[in-house]
Amino acid sequence: MISLLWVTALLLLGLGVMALEVFVPSGGILGFVSIAALVAGVATAFLEQGAAAGMASLAVVVLAVPAVLALAFRWFPETPLGRRVLPPAPESADVLPDLERRRHVRELVGHTGRAVTELLPWGRVEIDGETVDAMSEGGPIEAEAAIEAVGVQGTALVVRPAASRPAAPVLPIPPVARAAAGNQPVNGESALSPTLENFEFDGLDPPSA
């Protein structure tokens, strides 16, 4: 009975000192004491209570150590020492710097402009009268080339060459009838047409033998 109390006391002492090591850094001294107490408790259980009690105490140590450490680290940031040691949680402005700049650059997506410098793939472009940093989505883009903003990378625009619009097809000019009065030429029709229509070709036939 007394040996069982010793086993329980050693195990509790080891777990308690292990948790205390998280809150009060001691350069490993408390950690060494904790491990020594746990090993002593398991060894006492094997020697005094038998193999069954020893295996039971060993299982308790294997399960309790991770749980105690998890709870200690979970509560540590809320302690005065934890608040002094650990840095505060970052603000959104710290995680995403230049948030306003990113929002403004995102508003330029879909607009077209020109490349101020050559993009290899980084450079500068001008969109809506504003010069901003940009990177090419694909290959290099020459300076003064037309570009289109398609995305945002950090605080820079992602651009690609603007798609060239196909030329409007040339439709054939439909024939237009001449004016009914005066046989006036229409659509560049030569005045030779009415002359040829009124010319008498019969007079050009050779006389019959």
Residue 173 CA: distances (Å) to CA of 87, 146, 169? 78, 34, 12
3-state secondary structure of 201: coil
pTM: 0.39
pLDDT single digits (tens) 137-165: 888 899 999 999 999 887 888 999 987 54
Q: How far apart are CA 173 and CA 32, in angstroms?
A: 100
Alpha helices in the chain (DSSP H): 2-23, 29-44, 51-75, 80-85, 92-95, 99-106, 192-198
pLDDT single digits (tens) 9-42: 888 888 888 888 877 777 778 888 888 988 988 8
Q: Enter the tokens of residue 67.
A: 């749980």
Q: Which residue has better confidence, 136 or 199?
A: 136
| DSSP assigned state of 156 | E
Confidence of residue 196 (pLDDT cuts 50, 70, 90): very low
Fold of 99-161: OB fold (Dihydrolipoamide Acetyltransferase, E2P) (2.40.50)
Confidence (pLDDT) at 179? 45
Confidence (pLDDT) at 197? 52
Q: Which amino acid is at 108?
A: L
pLDDT single digits (tens) 105-122: 889 998 999 999 998 888
pLDDT single digits (tens) 35-76: 898 898 888 888 887 888 889 888 988 999 888 888 887 877
Confidence of residue 96 (pLDDT cuts 50, 70, 90): low
